[in-house]
Amino acid sequence: MIYLTFEELLVIHQQVIVQHGGTFGLRSRERLESALGRPSMNIDGYEPFPGLWSKTAALFDSLIERAPFIHANPATALVAADVMLRRNGYFLESHMDDGDIIRSVGLRQLTLPQIADWLKSRSQPLPDL
């Protein structure tokens, strides 16, 4: 499993800000570190988020919920989820109703298994090169 690093998430956030506008910067380093650590959490050998879909859902949900950046947390979360999936052999297809899902996550209306199912349903394997 390949996870994103702190530095990679800052680059992703900067690219989102350049593309969509807003202010680049962290609101809280601790919130970002917490969001990054959640997918790889291991408690005495127990993984609360087993598998790629659950781990990516945990990252996506945490970046929206913890809002570590000054602006563009949901957009950064979506791009970060796509990058994590790409690092692990998949890509996320964008759809018109992505904003509805992102809002639902932000309002805590979706569980992590529902987010994982949504990510899985919107993902395709990367083609062999």
Quote the number of domains for the chain.
1
For residue 13, being part of any structural domain is answered with yes
Question: pLDDT for 29-54, tens place per residue?
Answer: 999 999 999 999 999 999 999 999 99
For residue 1, being part of any structural domain is answered with no
Whole-prediction pTM = 0.94
- Band (pLDDT 50/70/90 cuts) for residue 95 is confident
Task: Provide the residue range defining the domain that includes 71.
Answer: 6-125
**Could you tell me the CATH number of the domain that includes residue 62?**
1.20.120.1870
3-class DSSP state for residue 12?
A: helix
8 Å CB contact between 1 and 38:
no
For residue 120, being part of any structural domain is answered with yes
For residue 47, being part of any structural domain is answered with yes
